[in-house]
């Protein structure tokens, strides 16, 4: 990895190269790094394992000091690959409170924010292949039936022609 960022680079065992890839990635690629896994119900419903976080998603914290708490995402920082969950604060020694940023791998999506049209499209995109394959199989069956009907007509025409002679 001599360049700053390479789209063609696949993987390396060396952690320094992995860190360099993540640090120098473009924002549209970093956006995918800010994805959390879905709960079991959502996995069955949307037929996918994880999805990028957006503001308004309801998440459950799976690791750390605040484990088990459920709340909505207040802010997503794509540059740092972190998400801020509302109403979760740490108190400093002087008594002031700070918002806590979480790594997306430590969060689990419980409820999705479906106000964004593009997000709905991406969720539906994964469901379409099943419907497409059903349509294709139906079309194949229709083609076979059409072909069978045409063959039967030809046979009837031949029989009728032979009877007339």
DSSP per-residue codes, 34-72: SEEEEPHHHHHHHT-SEEE--TT-EEEE-SSTTTT-EEE
CB 59 within 8 Å of CB 109: yes
**Which CA distances in Å does 124 have to 116, 118, 131?**
13, 10, 11
Mean pLDDT of the 12-28 span: 90
Per-residue pLDDT tens digits for 125-164: 877 665 555 545 545 555 555 666 666 766 777 777 777 6
C-alpha to C-alpha distance for 69 and 62, rounded to whole angstroms = 8
C-alpha to C-alpha distance for 127 and 135, rounded to whole angstroms = 13
Phi, psi of 60 (to 5 degrees): -115, 135
- Is the pTM value of this prediction over 0.75? no
């Amino acid at each position: 990895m001599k360049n700053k960022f390479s789209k063609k680079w696949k993987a390396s065992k060396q952690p320094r190269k992995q860190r360099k890839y993540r640090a120098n990635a473009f924002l549209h690629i970093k956006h995918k790094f800010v994805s959390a896994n879905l709960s079991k119900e959502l996995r069955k419903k949307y037929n996918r394992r994880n999805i990028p976080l957006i503001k308004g998603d309801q998440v459950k914290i799976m690791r750390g000091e605040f484990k088990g708490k459920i709340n909505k995402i207040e802010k997503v920082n794509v540059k740092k690959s972190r998400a801020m969950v509302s109403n979760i604060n740490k108190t400093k020694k002087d008594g002031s409170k700070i918002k806590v940023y979480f790594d997306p791998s430590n969060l689990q999506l419980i409820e999705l924010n479906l106000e964004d049209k593009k997000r709905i499209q991406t969720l539906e995109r994964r469901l379409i292949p099943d419907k497409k394959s059903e349509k294709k199989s139906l079309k194949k069956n229709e083609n076979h039936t059409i072909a069978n009907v045409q063959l039967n007509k030809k046979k009837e025409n031949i029989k009728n022609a032979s009877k007339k002679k």
